Amino acid sequence: MTLPRTPSFRLDGRRALVAGASSGIGAACAVALAEQGAEVTLCARREPELRALAAEMRAAGLKADILPLDITDVAATEAALAARPAFDALVNSAGLARHTPAIDTTPSDYDAVTDLNVRAAFFLTRTVAKRLLAEGKPGSLINITSQMAHVGGPERAVYSATKHAVEGMTKSMAIEWGPHGIRVNTIAPTFIRTALTAATFANPERAAWIASKIKLNRVGEVEDIMGAVAFLASDAAGLITGTSLIVDGGWTAG
């Protein structure tokens, strides 16, 4: 018999855009894609952090450039991407959380979280896909959501709502663009140890709650997301679209 061959995990010759790349999960995703050979554009509002990460990646022999941009400005985002070649892969890791009891949530907090987590995510994904459609190219578009896109949690009504919304958006986009070879998926992490989650882990009550939920008995590290994003961006995930890769240590299983 002729042995089957595993599709390649490599991304050589492909261009990837990573939004929210200035720190944490986004930065790790950028490194993961570049390690597989992609030319990665680092996108975020914080230009000094982008420059520092790009320099470090280049020093390691990886391909990286920067695009300082606030993706909540849809017109500016569309203009910036129109000025660059099409991207074969997108990872949207830009996100915002303002955790409060639902009864105490203010309209301004609601608007800020939904503006970035839903509205900006929708139009960024659409902008990248629109270019691929115009040029007749396939692609892999990935939104970073959360385990809270599949369950609920205290003081997270708005955040959870936005992440549930992106899961629904992802399924619909996958249906529309699948015939054109464009795959759309999400990665839904558990609590990952980053600068943004430091305050949560420093709260003994919250840390105990997290520990009680993760069945693998450890919190997540950014490295836990790197393999997942490299996989979904690659040909090895060629038949995967419209779904969520939940990287949660078993949180949602229980």
Active site residues: 159
Q: Half-sphere exposure (CA, 13 Å, Cβ side) for 10?
A: 5
Query: Looking at residue 100, what is its pLDDT?
Result: 93
- The verdict on domain 15-247 having CATH code 3.40.50.720 is yes
**Tokens standing for residue 24:** 């944490």
Q: Split the chain (254 residues) into runs of 10 and give each run's mean pLDDT.
A: 95 98 97 98 97 98 98 98 98 94 96 98 98 98 97 94 98 98 98 88 90 93 98 98 98 93
Tokens of 235: 């040909």
What is the model's pTM?
Answer: 0.96
If 0-12 CB within 10 Å is exposed, 13-18 middle and 19+ buried, where does residue 100 land? middle
What integer pLDDT is reported at residue 238 of this predicted model? 98
Specify the pLDDT at position 186: 98
> In the numeric block, which tokens belong to residue 72?
């909540």
Structure tokens at 132: 């691929």
pLDDT of residue 1: 85
